[in-house]
Chain A
Amino acid sequence: MAEVSDRIKEIIKPENLVYAKSPVLNDDIMHYCPGCSHGVVHRLIAEVIDEMGIQDQTIGVAPVGCSVFAYKYIDIDWLEAAHGRAPAVATGIKRVMPDKYIFSYQGDGDLAAIGTAETFHAVNRGENIVMIFINNAIYGMTGGQMAPTTLIGQVTSTTPNGRNADLNGYPLRITELLAQLPGAAYVTRQSVQTPAAVRKAKKAIRKAFEIQAMKKGTAFVEIVSTCSSGWKLNPVDSNTWMEENMFPQYPLGDLKDGARTDADLYRIKG
């Protein structure tokens, strides 16, 4: 055993490392379930903040939901918002500190159900903030209830026979709606289930922060995510289920890539 541990020590010497955890992500053990996407997205945000050198200028807004404790893991200043209100809280911060980097981090229930109004209006105002949207089509924290993005037929604890459009309405593609708003600068949908997807998602998050620096409007990054506990699948099967069921309904890619729309298009004549 001693031999093995000596070999491990040899392997993990700093000079042998090809990858190191960003110091912006702290060492606390995350409370997320195995197979959950939150941890990966947290890491990507921490890496982007680290690489851009903006740790002292970034303020995060945590939601209510599984990521309510996001503030524990990324070593920056945070405000914990009420359920759904993160875009309003982020607006308040950004308006009084316009040169700081502000991002909100929300799940589907928070952003697309209880907080729909705040989400729409923050984007429509073109607030110069980054909004990270974790869409796993279920309420994780409260025990697997139907989310606005739950798919038709998907079983949750409040749709035990599967989501039924007659009874529960339709899955909400809020990202497509937000991409229509003139205040949106960059709207993209990503995922983190493979190394290639993780790299693309990181690029998208980095781009979103850069758009904020240029004050071009709201940068919105959806991450289609897994919830192994809520879906009652193991992590590998969750990824497969996501690819087979979520991706057709929530296709990956950029929905808007540019800047806020020219206000003159909406100007009165008189």
Chain B
Amino acid sequence: MGELRLMKGNEVIAMAAIRCGCDAYFGYPITPQSEVMETLMAERPWDSNGMVVLQAESEIASIHMVYGAAGCGKRVMTSSSSPGISLMAEGISYLAGSELPCVIVNVQRGGPGLGTIQPSQADYNQATKGGGHGDYSLLVLAPASVQEMHDFVVLGFELAFKYRNPVMILADGVIGQLMEKVELIDQRPRWTNEQLTEISGNWATSGKLKSRPKHVITSLEMDSSIMEGNNLRLQKKYERMKDEDVRFEAIECEDAEYILVAFGSAARICQKTVQIARKKGVKVGLIRPITLFPFPEKLIAEYATKVKGFLSVEFNAGQMVNDIRLAVGGKTKVAYFGRMGGIVPTPDEVEAALEQKLIRG
């Protein structure tokens, strides 16, 4: 059993980064996730294992520092919150286009614009549909607990290198600020030069040896036929993610007549709603997508023929509900309930919405 601690979600992101052997973190302060960099600075991992932690002059600089360090084959990450992620969008597109692995954490706050520092899930579309320009996808993990904040940093790096693709941890202000018990992994060493050669030696810009041609990290290609090929290669990779790395949790869905679909903090509220509804004799289940991209569309399609309806519960104006509708394909009712502007709904509110929009509606 690893070390047990009581920690904030944001602090745990930092601890997991250090302990899994991350090489570098570049970031810029923004509420509600500033504890990530503060914890890293307090822990001083450069003294213990050589991990680089640097406060950049902006989110734009942060993501391009990530690009540079990731190009060297290292394990690199950044974190921010919604407006900061918007600033990073161009850089994220470059990372995806150049097929560089990295972990990006978005502890979402309410928008649009400067919005609010209160929790939100309004960046679902931005995270799952690209966010920057061009046809690309991030692999998106949605933690619903402080433990998952920890685990998804570790998993995030594994998946980032499996696919040579940026991975986004799409959290929200609730999970970021929440304190819970967490089991930390034991300290793992950073990759040695020998490991780096094995893992990224055939593409990383680590210095051109006489024995190999130069490595160039770029997303640029002026020949349209080659550029289309590059795009097709990316699309194939995203299809492979759909085949191999869809993650979800299905709670009390076996006998369910209605299914709530929610991710992150919203899923925790819905878990309580399931209990409340079942006490009243309504058979309700919960599907919690853990990967938002790839989305568990097959699972939802399967249940679409079995249930009377799905209710998508989100802290936004209804974004994931569109992915549910696509998966359901008109086979059953799909409704949405959500709150915005930093308001977190109660389990009873969700239960009332279920009653009104699906059971009686």
A20 to chain B, nearest CB (A): 19
Contacts of A57 in B (CB 8 A): 207
Within 8 A of A (CB), among B206-225: 206-210, 214-220
A80 to chain B, nearest CB (A): 4
A85 interface residue per 8 A CB criterion: yes
Q: Interface stretch among A34-42, A89-97, A190-198, A223-231?
A: A89-97
- Mask, A66-105, CB within 8 Å of B = 1, is 0010010001111111100100111111111100100000
15 contacts between A and B (CB under 8 A): A58-B207, A59-B207, A71-B218, A77-B205, A78-B205, A80-B98, A80-B217, A80-B220, A85-B64, A88-B61, A92-B69, A96-B24, A100-B207, A117-B57, A118-B64
B116 interface residue per 8 A CB criterion: no
A145 interface residue per 8 A CB criterion: no
A55 interface residue per 8 A CB criterion: yes
Q: Are B208 and A55 in contact (CB under 8 A)?
A: yes
A56 interface residue per 8 A CB criterion: yes
Within 8 A of B (CB), among A183-225: none
Q: Which of A56, A68, A82 contacts B208 (CB 8 A)?
A: A56
State in angstroms the CA–CA spacing of A76 and B205 once bound together.
9
- Mask, A43-64, CB within 8 Å of B = 1, is 0000000000001111101100
B13 to chain A, nearest CB (A): 19
Q: Are A79 and B69 in contact (CB under 8 A)?
A: no
Contacts of A100 in B (CB 8 A): 206-207
State in angstroms the CA–CA spacing of A117 and B54 once bound together.
16
- Mask, B102-126, CB within 8 Å of A = 1, is 0000000000000000000000000
A27 to chain B, nearest CB (A): 14
**Identity of the chain A residue whose Cβ is nearest the Cβ of B24 in the assembled complex:** A96
Q: Are B206 and A89 in contact (CB under 8 A)?
A: no
Beyond A93-B205, A117-B61, whether A82 also contacts B69 by CB under 8 A is no
Contacts of B58 in A (CB 8 A): 117
Contacts of B208 in A (CB 8 A): 55-56, 75-77
State in angstroms the CA–CA spacing of A143 and B26 once bound together.
35
**Identity of the chain B residue whose Cβ is nearest the Cβ of A100 in the assembled complex:** B207
- Mask, A105-136, CB within 8 Å of B = 1, is 00000000000011011000000000000000
Contacts of B215 in A (CB 8 A): 77-78
Q: Interface stretch among B70-78, B258-266, B312-320, B340-348?
A: B70-78
Q: Which of B64, B70, B74 contacts A88 (CB 8 A)?
A: B64
Contacts of B71 in A (CB 8 A): 79, 89, 92-93
State in angstroms the CA–CA spacing of A117 and B67 once bound together.
17
- Mask, B54-93, CB within 8 Å of A = 1, is 1011101110111111111010100000000000001100
Q: Are A59 and B205 in contact (CB under 8 A)?
A: yes
Beyond A88-B64, A88-B68, whether A79 also contacts B90 by CB under 8 A is no
Contacts of A94 in B (CB 8 A): 68
Q: Are B205 and A95 in contact (CB under 8 A)?
A: no
**Identity of the chain B residue whose Cβ is nearest the Cβ of A57 in the assembled complex:** B207
State in angstroms the CA–CA spacing of A59 and B217 once bound together.
11
Contacts of A61 in B (CB 8 A): 68
B63 to chain A, nearest CB (A): 8
**Identity of the chain B residue whose Cβ is nearest the Cβ of A120 in the assembled complex:** B57
- Mask, B256-295, CB within 8 Å of A = 1, is 0000000000000000000000000000000000000000
B157 interface residue per 8 A CB criterion: no
- Mask, A137-175, CB within 8 Å of B = 1, is 000000000000000000000000000000000000000
Q: Are B65 and A79 in contact (CB under 8 A)?
A: no
State in angstroms the CA–CA spacing of A93 and B64 once bound together.
10
Q: Are A118 and B209 in contact (CB under 8 A)?
A: no
Q: Are B206 and A80 in contact (CB under 8 A)?
A: no
Contacts of A89 in B (CB 8 A): 64-65, 67-68, 71
Q: Which of A78, A93, A97, A117 contacts B216 (CB 8 A)?
A: A78
State in angstroms the CA–CA spacing of A82 and B208 once bound together.
22
Contacts of B68 in A (CB 8 A): 61, 79, 81, 88-94
B127 to chain A, nearest CB (A): 20
Contacts of A92 in B (CB 8 A): 24, 26, 64-71, 76
Contacts of B60 in A (CB 8 A): 85, 88, 117-118
**Identity of the chain B residue whose Cβ is nearest the Cβ of A26 in the assembled complex:** B214
B207 to chain A, nearest CB (A): 5
State in angstroms the CA–CA spacing of A88 and B24 once bound together.
14
B99 interface residue per 8 A CB criterion: no
User: Taking each of A56, A58, A90, A120, which has the highest tally of chain B beta carbons within 10 Å of its own beta carbon?
Assistant: A56
A93-B71, A118-B64 given; name 6 further pairs at CB < 8 Å. Answer: A59-B205, A78-B218, A79-B205, A80-B98, A95-B54, A96-B69
